[in-house]
Every structure is written in structure tokens, then in C-alpha cells.
A and B are shown apart, each in its own frame.
Chain A
Amino acid sequence: MGHDTQVQARSKKQYEYDRHHNAVHMRKQVINFAIMIFLTFLAFAVVVADFSTYYIKPLILLLAGIQVVIQLYSYMHMDDKKASHIGVISTFVWFGVVIAFTVFLAFLTIIWW
């Protein structure tokens, strides 16, 4: 019984606010999309432009990292404080990132010697 959802119509004002809020949020997502396209383009351009690999490698990794954070927090709503248990979820995801980083580091340093 306790798990049933309450269904009630929102008031007109609340409904209009929510619609407006959704539309604003969607516009933000499109802007984030444009940013991600730009970051991608930048990464490709920097490689094609043939600068020193010493600078390019960390730069494109940084660009990738930024793009991933935008995807996680914006598209995947990890920034939505009201989402169900999002704090625990974020902890798990970041822990996964830490492990992934450790695995990368290990494979890049202690496979070939």
C-alpha cells in the first residue's frame, strides 16, 4: 500500500512553471551540445594542425575529460539534486572513474619494461 504513487493534477500555475522550466532546461542541453561539438572539433583540429605531440596529447585528453563531465552531469542528469539517491550514484560513478584511472596507469607502466 505504501508504495502506491499519489496522482493529482498540478495547478495551472505549477504546470506552466514546469513546462517553462523544462523548455529552459532543454535549451541548456542544446547549448551543451554545441559546446561538445566545439570541443570535438577543437580536438580534431589540434591534431590535424600538427603541433608537437608533447602538448597535444594532454590537451585532447583534457578536452575528452571535459566533454565526459558535461555528458555525465548534464545529459545524464547527475547534477539533478532532486533525483532519487543521486548522491550515492555519484559516489559509485566517481569510484568507478578512480578504478578506471588506476587500471590505465598500471597498464601504461607495468606491462612492458
Chain B
Amino acid sequence: MSSVAVSKKGFGATVWDYLTTVDHKKLGVMYLLAGTLFFAIAGFEALLMRIQLMVPNNDFVSAGTFNELLTMHGTTMLFLAATPLLFGFMNAVIPLQIGARDVAFPFLNSLGFWMFFLGALFLHLSFFLGGAPDAGWTNYASLALYSPGHGVDFYVLGLQISGAGTLISGINFIVTIITMRAPGMTFMRMPLFTWTSLITSALITFAFPPLTVGLFLMLVDRMFEANFFDHTMGGNTIIWEHLFWIFGHPEVYILVLPAFGLFSEIIPVFARKRLFGYSSMVFATILIGFLGFMVWAHHMFTTGLGATANAIFAVATMAIAVPTGMKVFNWIMTIWGGSVKVTVPMLYALGFIPSFVAGGVTGVMQAAAPLDYQLHDSYFIVAHFHYVIVGGIVTAIFGSMHFYWPIMFNRALSETLGKWTFWIFFIGFHCTFFIQHFLGLMGMPRRVFTYQANQGWDLFNFISSIGAILMAIGVILLVLNIIVSAKSKPLNCRDYWGDGRSLEWAIKTPVPFYNFKQTPLVRGYDPYWLEKHEGNEEGMTYAEPLGEIHMPNNSILPLIMSIGTFVAAFGALYHPDGKSWAIPVLILGLAITVGAMIIRSMKDDLGFHVHVEEIVATEEHLYGKGDNK
């Protein structure tokens, strides 16, 4: 087990390794793969929607199917694509950036992944078991309670499981960043991606429980005749909206803050200039996190909260634009005066800045409650959030794939293919969504499966759909790029981009399973850059002599625990149908999960030690004899 890096493994052994791994680098790869899969599925759902909307009175898909597509597109993209992809980068990069060997709770890291994956699987099985959820990704109670079939139940149970996985991982990253930084890395010397991940994880910790509660209330209302949202029994449907958006607004910051952090890593490297205004970037991140919890009712301006409540939330929403704007100016000031190298990651960063700002300013427009009365539930809103999500988060993900591919896979993605992907996707993106601002202003509502001809909407819808096809081509090119890179030669180098500033670039790829052979000593912000410029080729000063390394054991229990919840969810789902096997299955599933938890607690798990000879052998095997590390 301890010389895992040096031995050759068969296919079965490799599969078992990935099923039982607690290694943050492997989990990062798994998150990336799963996220890409669900991104493709959700993108396909969007493509189908845009084909349906290409011409008026189309019958490409039925109204019911369209509702399922729009619900699943939103739910999958936000929960099952964007979050895992960003978690993939957080897992792969953060322990390396802070000089740690792994996260604080490697076992829980694995559990978080498997819970996410099995929840996602459960949700997608709905397509084959009677229909997907169809009440929108926001699942408002007035509609969702009366949705026939099991679609919404799949939504509730699937997200409950997936959400638990996300919460577990959020707590894990907070503890990791607080306790496991290398000596010398004070909070104000942490890279910006680590800072934004810390705040993101704090948002996850505080925001996911209200979603958990909301989903539970929806579950018992639908399946166990509870009365939370039923006004005839004293309930109130707006409770769902509050709980959902108390989660939902921080959720969008959970998605965008890691994206900001990734760009704060990419831009200084390719402008070859230190990040401008580090302290204000940190302060802005914290402020965005805090204010993110105070604005949720701006999604509810038209529900009748009253002028006072609307005014309070409107002002708070506009306030968030200030720290966000600070960050944009800091990025611009980092690029200004730098020696800019326009690689694919930098292209995405340069495309991000104007696109995200465009989305941000339409957001401030919507923050004005009176205007929102006109814009709410129109295509203007759809345009806004796609500009911030695609312009902000998707560009960050695509750019960071290129940026961090060398560290994660010891390969590089093709620059040429990458540039083609960028331009086709970027043009397609603007084609699709810029035009939707005008559709919204012209009064086209969102979530409609078709529209009448000759209202002035036909041409714009057509152009919007063409853009979607371009985006699809871009994504296909990206997938091609990934496949091609798998066959390319290993890089076996340190600091692939040549201008790396933080610790993750100091390790020669492929990264050994224990990360650093000796814990590094951090002497300032951008520690690797600092060492490079003092002539230290290795890029690291060490904080300890070469000694035994203590690593965590693999385990199959996280997968088993997650399978238990998956099984239990089936029991819960079919119980209201009166199926006799439902309750036994529910109990079986819970027993599997609790049983695995008890097994985990009963055994001592002290990890394993890597002896100095094995470390030396691993380093030689990976990098050759006498090579500097």
C-alpha cells in the first residue's frame, strides 16, 4: 500500500484504487470527470430547448418535456456540473497551494464525492422512471406540490443526498485551510484561490442547511401529508421561496467566488505581474460572502413583500456590486503594465472581464425593484444570469482546465484547439444571450415552450438558437482536446507555464502521492515566485528534514455509505405509492449507511507511514536519479 506510486497496476486494481481513494488529487480528477459528464448532459438539454424555441409554434418537444428539460438543465448545471467542476479544482489545487499533504479529513472528502455522485445518479434516473422533475430548478411549492408523478420527488431526494455531499466537502475545506497551512503561510499570505475557496466553503456551510430544511419540508408535504405550504391547513407557500432563496442566493456566490479565485491565479501568471491590491481582494471576497446572505429576497420582489422590504433588499443588492467592482478593477490593474502573454487561460480571463461586468450591471438594473416588476420572469433575467454564470463561471472552468491540466494530468491541452474552442464558444455565447436581453425587454416570458409568430420575437429567437449550436461545437472541441491530450507525451516538468507564482507550480509533475517530500517553508506571498527570483531552482525552502510521512488509508466505506442513501431514497420515493417493499428498502438503505458508519468507528484507522527509503525510491522512479526536487 505504501509503495503504490511505484508499482504497476492492472485495470481491476486501478478501478479499485479509484473506488477507494481518499487522495485529493484523484478525487479532483473524479470530480472533474463527473462534472464534465453532467455539464455535457445539461448542455444537451439546453440545446434541445433552443431547438424547440428556434421557430414559433414549434413541436420539436412537448410542453411537458420542455418543462422537464428546463428544470433539469438548471438543476444539473448548477448543482451537478458547476459545483463539482469547481470542487475538482479546489481538491486538486488547494492542498498543494497551502503546502499540505492532503485535506483535513480525507475519508470525508471521498464521502462527499460519492454522495454527490449517487445523488446526481438518483436524480437522473427520473428520466427513465416516470419523468424528470418539471417545476423549474427553483421548484416553487405552489406548482411543485401538485406536480403529478415522481419527478419532483426525485428532485427532492436527489438534491438532499447530493447536497449533503457538498456540505461535507465545504466543512472539510474550511478545516483544511484553517489548520493545515505550511509554516510561514499566514492568512494574508494565502493565494487568492485559497481565500475564495475558504469563503465559498463558509457560504456552503451556512447556506446548504436552509436548502436541506426546505427540501425536507417539500418532501413531507408531498409524501407524508404535512402542511407547511398548504394554505388550507394553515401553511404558507412563500416559506419555500424564502428557504430556497436564503440558500439560492449564497449558492450563486458559492459558484462565482471560486471562479474569481481561479482568475486571480491565472491573471498574475500571464500578465507576469503580482496581483494588484491583495488585501482589498481579500476584504472584497469576505464582504461579498457576508452581503450574499442579506439579499435573497431580491428574487421575490414581485411576491408582494411590500415597499419597505423591497427597498431594503434592493439597496443591499446594489451594495454587493461595490466589492465585486473592486475585484474587477484590481484584475484590470494587474494586467495594466504587465508583460502579457495571451495563452488560452489568459484568453478566457480577458473574455471573462467584459462578459461578467455585463452580467453584473444588468444585475444592478434588476436590483431596482420597480424595474424588476417589468423584468421578472422575462428573458432579461435569463440573459443576466447566463452572462454571469457562463461569462464568469464557465469561462473560469474552461480556462482553468487549460491552466491546471499539467498539474492534474502531467499533460497539456492543445493551445491551438483551445483557441478554436474559445472563439467558437465565446461568439456562440454572446450570440445566444446578448440577444435575449432584447427579447426580455420586448416582453418574452421565460420558461415558455413556444411563442406565437409575428410578435417581433422570431428573428432573435432564431439567432439565439444558432448561438447555442456554436456553443455545442465549442464544447465538442474541448472534449476532443481532452481526448487528444490523453495520448500526448507526459510533460515531466516543473512550472509548465514558466511564470508560476504559488506553491502548486513548485512540484515537478507527476505529483507524488504525498505531494511534498518535505513540508515547504513559506516566506511570503507568491512563495514559489519569491524562491525562483532568489535563484532557488527547486522553488521551495523546506521547513523540516526528510523524514517519515504519515498518509491516510484508502477505504471502500464512503462508497458503501453513499449507496445506502441511494437505496433508502428509492424506498422513500415509492412509499406514497403504497408499495409494500418501500419501507423495508428504506430501512435497508439506512441500515447500510449507519452500519458502514459504525464499522468505520469501531476500527482504528491510523493511516500508514512512508519510510524515507520509499520516499527516495519514489522520487527516483518519478524523476530519475540525482534530479533536484
Known contacts A84-B179, A99-B206, A103-B210: does B305 contact A1 (CB below 8 Å)? no
Q: A17-33: which have CB < 8 Å to B? A: none
Contact A99 B306 (CB under 8 A): no
Number of A-B residue pairs, CB cutoff 8 Å, is: 46
Q: How distant is B236 from chain A, measured CB to nearest CB, in Å?
A: 6
Per-residue 0/1 for A77-113: is the Cβ within 8 Å of any B Cβ (1 yes, 0 no)?
Answer: 0000000110010001001100100110011011111
Select from chain A the residue with minimum beta-carbon distance to B296. A106
Q: How distant is A102 from chain B, measured CB to nearest CB, in Å?
A: 7
List the B side residues contacting A58 at CB < 8 Å.
Answer: none
Contact B238 A1 (CB under 8 A): no
Known contacts A1-B544, A3-B550, A102-B294: does B242 contact A96 (CB below 8 Å)? no
CA distance A17 to B239 in the complex (A): 55
Per-residue 0/1 for B205-219: is the Cβ within 8 Å of any A Cβ (1 yes, 0 no)?
Answer: 110001000000000
List the B side residues contacting A103 at CB < 8 Å.
Answer: 210, 246
- Tally of chain A residues near chain B (CB < 8 A): 19
B188 in the interface (beta carbon within 8 A): no
CA distance A110 to B246 in the complex (A): 13
* Residue from B238, B293, B305 within 8 A of A99 (CB atoms): B293
List the A side residues contacting B544 at CB < 8 Å.
Answer: 1-2
List the A side residues contacting B549 at CB < 8 Å.
Answer: 1
List the B side residues contacting A2 at CB < 8 Å.
Answer: 519, 543-544, 547
Known contacts A1-B545, A1-B548, A111-B238: does B206 contact A95 (CB below 8 Å)? yes
Per-residue 0/1 for B186-213: is the Cβ within 8 Å of any A Cβ (1 yes, 0 no)?
Answer: 0000000000000000100110001000
Q: How distant is B529 from chain A, measured CB to nearest CB, in Å?
A: 24
Contact A110 B305 (CB under 8 A): yes
Contact A113 B210 (CB under 8 A): no
Contact A109 B550 (CB under 8 A): no
CA distance A102 to B548 in the complex (A): 49
Q: What are 8 A-B contacts defined by CB distance under 8 Å?
A: A1-B544, A2-B519, A2-B547, A85-B178, A92-B205, A99-B293, A111-B242, A113-B306
List 12 other contacts, CB 8 Å, given A99-B206, A113-B306.
A1-B545, A1-B548, A2-B519, A2-B544, A2-B547, A84-B179, A92-B174, A95-B290, A103-B210, A106-B297, A110-B306, A111-B238
- A interface residues with partner B (beta carbon < 8 Å): 1-3, 84-85, 88, 92, 95-96, 99, 102-103, 106-107, 109-113
